């Protein structure tokens, strides 16, 4: 199972923006949260990357993939007092390859309303899809896209 690696500045961007006076905060339920796919030549800097333009090598538009990625549907945010855990969940995003298909090595979760990065999944190897193949990112039913635990 792949683990979502959070971009370092997401904490600041949830609580008001990294820059003083910045109003571009992430609102998980109200904003449009997307998942984009990226090629093996992608590399991510968790300390410096903050907005979608900071990450490159997105899978090319076409053949079943749309630039910018898929929008997360059925988003929920729940708090469990027993474990002091807040879970941000969503439906599993998926893509169906067509034509020549495409290849992806990672996925980036980001807020397309504010452009702020949330986190990325490294698939560990390149996944190559031929026409008709489906790539689904299975969001964990217990831990969601990500969670925060108060201690």
Is a pLDDT exceeding 70 seen at residue 17? Answer: no
Looking up tokens 């702020």 gives 116
Report how many domains make up the chain.
1
pLDDT digits (tens, 9 = 90+) for 112-139: 998 999 999 999 999 999 999 999 999 9
Q: Domain range holding 139?
A: 5-149
SS (H, E, C) 87-131: EEECCCCEEECCCCCEEEEEEEEEECCCCEEEEEEEEEEEEEECC
∠ CA 91-127-32 to the nearest 5 degrees? 30
Provide the token pair at 9.
């500045």
pLDDT confidence tier of residue 3, bands split at 50, 70 and 90:
confident
Is a pLDDT exceeding 80 seen at residue 16? Answer: no
14 vs 68: CA distance, rounded Å: 21
């Amino acid at each position: 199972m792949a683990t979502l690696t959070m971009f370092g500045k997401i904490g600041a961007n949830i609580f008001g923006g990294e820059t003083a006076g910045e109003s571009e905060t992430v609102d998980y339920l109200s904003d449009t949260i997307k998942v984009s796919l990226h090629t093996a030549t992608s590399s991510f800097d968790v300390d410096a990357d903050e907005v979608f333009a900071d990450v490159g090598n997105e899978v090319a538009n076409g053949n079943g993939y749309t630039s910018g990625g898929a929008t997360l549907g059925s988003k929920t945010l729940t708090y469990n007092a027993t474990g002091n855990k807040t879970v941000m969940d969503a439906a599993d995003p998926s893509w169906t390859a067509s034509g020549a298909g495409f290849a992806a090595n990672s996925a980036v979760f980001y807020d397309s309303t504010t452009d702020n990065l949330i986190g990325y999944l490294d698939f560990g190897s390149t996944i190559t899809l031929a026409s008709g193949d489906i790539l689904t990112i299975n969001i964990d039913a217990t831990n969601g896209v990500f969670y925060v635990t108060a201690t």
